[in-house]
Amino acid sequence: MEYTIFIKGGIPRHEVARFVEPVSFEMRKGENLAIVGPNGAGKSILVDVIMGRYPLREGELRYDFSPSESNAVYKNVRYIAFRDVYGATEGGYYQQRWNSHDQDGIPTLRHLFGDNCSTEWGAQVLDMLGLTSLLDSLIIMLSSGELRKFQVARMLMEAPRLLIIDNPFIGLDSAMRLFLAEMLEKITSNGNVQLMLLLTDADDIPSCIDRVVRVDGMRVLPAVERSEYSPLSPDADYSAEACQVLAQLPLEEPFPSGSEMVQLNAVTIKYGSRTILNNLDWRVCSGQVWALSGENGSGKSTILSLLCADNLQSYACDIKLFGRRRGSGESIWEIKKHIGYVSPEMHRSYLKNIPTIDIVASGLHDSIGLYVKSTPQQLRSCEWWLSLFGISHLKERSFMQLSGGEQRLALLARAFVKDPSLLILDEPLHGLDAENKQRVKAIVEEFSKRKGKSVIYVSHYENEFPATVTHRLHLVRN
């Protein structure tokens, strides 16, 4: 049997990368693999071992990317991590995205693609992913789904021998998920590119995958044929637990049920020649639970930036938040103190190497990072929320050492920690395994039943919306 990658008895030097037992792993010539498993199971660490980021102390690691000129990993492998969308050289744009006066030096897609976008293969990739019309857009103006497509396209243009993608389907609407699966099938059909996907949801395994490797509890299990793989179904019901625990919270109702928390009147948002929102009227009242949906680029993230006081164009619009017109003298912090918020953009921008409990505590002060010392009572509250989300055992671990799914749970705890009147959840289940999806949905549903609470929930998956939804807003692009 010929192998592209072969590991036998692998024990990494670094303790953080140690599995329960020596790693044995193989990727056969010409095959495509899916690596599946729950959050924190060790999937990303396995990839780091495969790529040599954690050298082995014992065991054997071999590569064979022939007929490439070299077997070096850095020449033949490209890896798109869960949070690696902007990339190291394009970071720091989170605050600039909504500030139309602070965009000097921000590159366009055409600039970032470089000469690759003018080649025949590059043009095919752009066309397949629907990015041709966005070539002259600034990178910071893309939606979460468009950013995901950009990163996939940039890696494909480099024609790697092995393309590793962490959760490629998250952030994409249903049509684009199907399209991406078809595209992955197409690019792997000639055998020039092999594919390795890291997946937390086994339902996302595309037809181009040949075998499945499950990682669970820091154990790498033997690969099985895709047709023989049966995902484990969670058997826990978190609804009763969430109901019982949330009942302990004191009931405060700063905004009586039925009062307007959000009021948008004929709101139009444009960036250059691109119209994102066009004459939008919308009301969100206390006690309502809204499902916000729409295809990639339809304006969902833009709406949320208006509500969270991040978008400076809101001053030129007729917008009322919590009964006050935007720009009437209120501070950003007066708005944010009523809002709990989590999104893929926040996740990407939150690069803080501080203890997880401090990440949660930062939600009490609406800061990216913790700059105010927390009181013992506040820390107890943070730990309480970490426990509800099932990660209290990670409270002292650095946020940057958590898996993508564990980071998402910590940021969700951060959104809930001040018991906000308005909870804004943008794709909250991104990167979560089946069990944690059930846990989070149960918490959201029980939270939204409390008197005077409002929720805006964004998702591309109909089955992810909470059962407590009372209203819907669907956006259509352009």
**β-strand 23-28 against 3-12: which pairing, if any?**
antiparallel
Beta bridge partners of 35: 198, 213
Token pair recorded at residue 349: 């921008």
Rg for the chain, CA atoms, rounded: 23
User: DSSP character for 5?
Assistant: E
Model pLDDT for residues 387-411, shown as the tens digit of each residue: 999 999 999 999 988 988 999 999 9
Domains of the chain: 3-228 (3.40.50.300), 239-475 (3.40.50.300)
Which residue do the tokens 């006050």 mark?
324
Does 329 score more than 80 pLDDT? no
* Residues recorded for the chain: 478
Residue 106: burial class (beta carbons within 10 Å; 0-12, 13-18, 19+): middle
Token pair recorded at residue 250: 């004191």
Mean per-residue pLDDT over the chain, rounded: 86
Largest CA distance in the chain: 71
H helix runs in 26-143, sequence order: 43-50, 73-76, 109-113, 120-128
H helix runs in 170-258, sequence order: 174-188, 239-246
Backbone angles phi, psi at 388, to 5 degrees: -60, -35
The sign of the dihedral angle between the CA atoms of 51, 55, 56, 62 is positive
Model pLDDT for residues 29-45, shown as the tens digit of each residue: 999 999 999 999 999 99
How does residue 336 score in pLDDT terms, banded at 50, 70 and 90?
A: confident
Q: What is the DSSP string of 39-71?
A: TTSSHHHHHHHHTTSS-EEEEEEEE--TTSS--
Please work out, in degrees rounded to the nearest 5, the angle formed at the alpha carbon of residue 117 by the alpha carbons of 113 and 122: 115
Beta bridge partners of 199: 36
Residues 6+ apart with CB under 8 A from 401: 16
| 3: Cα separation from own chain's centroid | 32
Q: Is 324 helix (H, G, I), strand (E, B) or coil?
A: strand
Model pLDDT for residues 454-477, shown as the tens digit of each residue: 999 999 989 999 999 999 999 988
Please work out, in degrees rounded to the nearest 5, the angle formed at the alpha carbon of residue 428 by the alpha carbons of 426 and 432: 150
Which residue do the tokens 């609470």 mark?
453
Model pLDDT for residues 270-312, shown as the tens digit of each residue: 877 778 899 999 999 999 999 999 988 888 988 998 888 777 7
Distance separating alpha carbons of residues 236 and 302, to the nearest angstrom: 36
The confidence score (pLDDT) of residue 84 equals: 47
Task: Pick the more confident residue, 342 or 253.
Answer: 342
Model pLDDT for residues 50-101, shown as the tens digit of each residue: 999 999 999 999 999 877 667 788 889 999 875 544 443 333 444 445 555 5
- φ/ψ region of 266 (left if φ > 0, alpha if ψ in -120 to 50, else beta) reads left
- The candidate with the shortest Cα–Cα distance to 109, out of 121, 126, 124, 92, is 126
How does residue 374 score in pLDDT terms, banded at 50, 70 and 90?
A: confident
**8 A C-beta contact, residue 287 and residue 448:** no
Distance separating alpha carbons of residues 329 and 170, to the nearest angstrom: 39
One-letter amino acid for residue 32 of the chain: N
What average pLDDT score do residues 245-268 get? Answer: 84
**8 A C-beta contact, residue 284 and residue 261:** yes
Label residues 339-348 b or e (16+ Cβ within 10 Å = b): bbbbbbbbbb
How does residue 7 score in pLDDT terms, banded at 50, 70 and 90?
A: very high
